[in-house]
Amino acid sequence: MVQRLIVAGNWKMHGDRAMVDAYARELAACVEGSDHAGVGVWLFPPAPYLLSLANALAEAGAKEVSVGVQNVHEAASGAFTGEMSAAMAADCGAQLVLVGHSERRTLFGESDELVAAKARAVIDAGLTPVICVGESLDERRGGEAMARVRAQLEPVLASLAAGEVERSVIAYEPVWAIGTGETATPEIAQEMHAGISEHLLARKISARPPILYGGSVKASNAEQLFAQPDIDGALVGGASLAVTDFAGIIAAAQLKQNRA
């Protein structure tokens, strides 16, 4: 069962074994005893560290923190050198998979259709996909932000049943806000999240999945973002690499949880 409020950390291609152990111990100390029940804390390390991070978190007493991978191949197995399947990620402790992150789309040429095929594969392996969508700066300036996000969602909605979409997570990450230090204002993010919700409702997704905001989320802006009614947490890149920053974002989600 996916929590309603989620703070997810995407390490991208950062970290090493020493970081994994220290991070797990520090995070366990931060979340232990802090009343964070109801807020999902998810981590996406580079795949080679998945199992050791899962083990280190369990040893440190942070069993409730879930781990996942940043990408999978859409096939279950085969001659695809350098790739891994969702089932393999599950076998190594993953519960979650990022799908269609903007870096995968722009740097590795992943199309909307490929992203949908990956979401399908993740569901088939019994894992939860975090399906990332978001417009570029040109698309925003051209007034096409919502149309672009809808176009990204369309193949996903065609390949997943309504119940499967309801069990997934969506991350709205405007490309112009990722790694740039420029966060969408809470109003812009809320407008987009509400637009995504409406689109899902129109497509008969009645229990809408959590919609996370991503793009330069920090401890200092998380509370304002989470105050918006349709923002159900954050997908955090840079600020997830230091436990104190990440813990500050978890604390902001906890505030929202306590007010609910």
Closest-approach residue to ligand PGA (CB): 237
Q: Mark whether 173 is an active-site residue.
A: yes
Measured from the CB atom, is 129 or 238 closer to ligand PGA? 238
216 belongs to the binding site for ligand PGA (CB under 6 A): yes
Q: Mark whether 191 is an active-site residue.
A: no
Q: Which stretch binds ligand PGA (CB under 6 A): 138-146, 192-200, 215-223, 252-260?
A: 215-223
- Which of 40, 68, 134, 215 binds ligand PGA (CB under 6 A)? It is 215
Q: How far is C-alpha 30 from the chain's CA centre?
A: 21
108 belongs to the binding site for ligand PGA (CB under 6 A): no
Kindly give, in sequence order, each residue whose CB lies less than 8 Å from that of residue 246, ignoring residues fewer than 6 positions away. 7, 9, 27, 236, 239, 240
217 belongs to the binding site for ligand PGA (CB under 6 A): yes
Distance CA 143, CA 241 (A): 33
86 belongs to the binding site for ligand PGA (CB under 6 A): no
Burial class (CB in 10 A: 0-12, 13-18, 19+), 1: exposed
| Annotated active-site residue in 36, 74, 101, 139 | 101
Contact call for residues 213 and 184 (beta carbons, < 8 A): yes
**What part of residues 130-189 is at the interface with ligand PGA (CB under 6 A)?**
173, 178-179
**What part of residues 228-257 is at the interface with ligand PGA (CB under 6 A)?**
235-239
Number of residues located near ligand PGA, criterion CB under 6 A: 13
Kindly give, in sequence order, each residue whose CB lies less than 8 Å from that of residue 154, ignoring residues fewer than 6 positions away. 112
Measured from the CB atom, is 156 or 217 closer to ligand PGA? 217
Backbone angles phi, psi at 153, to 5 degrees: -75, -30
Nearest CA-CA partner of 142 in 111, 190, 176: 176
214 belongs to the binding site for ligand PGA (CB under 6 A): yes
Q: How far is C-alpha 143 from the chain's CA centre?
A: 25
Q: Which stretch binds ligand PGA (CB under 6 A): 17-25, 152-160, 193-201, 211-219?
A: 211-219
Q: Measured from the CB of residue 237, what is the shortest distance to ligand PGA in angstroms? A: 2
DSSP class of 143: T
Measured from the CB atom, is 217 or 231 closer to ligand PGA? 217
Distance CA 253, CA 248 (A): 9
Contact call for residues 213 and 174 (beta carbons, < 8 A): no
Nearest CA-CA partner of 73 in 132, 115, 28, 17: 115
| Annotated active-site residue in 110, 139, 164, 173 | 173
10 belongs to the binding site for ligand PGA (CB under 6 A): yes
**What part of residues 23-42 is at the interface with ligand PGA (CB under 6 A)?**
none
Residues that bind ligand PGA (CB under 6 A): 10, 173, 178-179, 214-217, 235-239
Q: Which residues are catalytic?
A: 101, 173
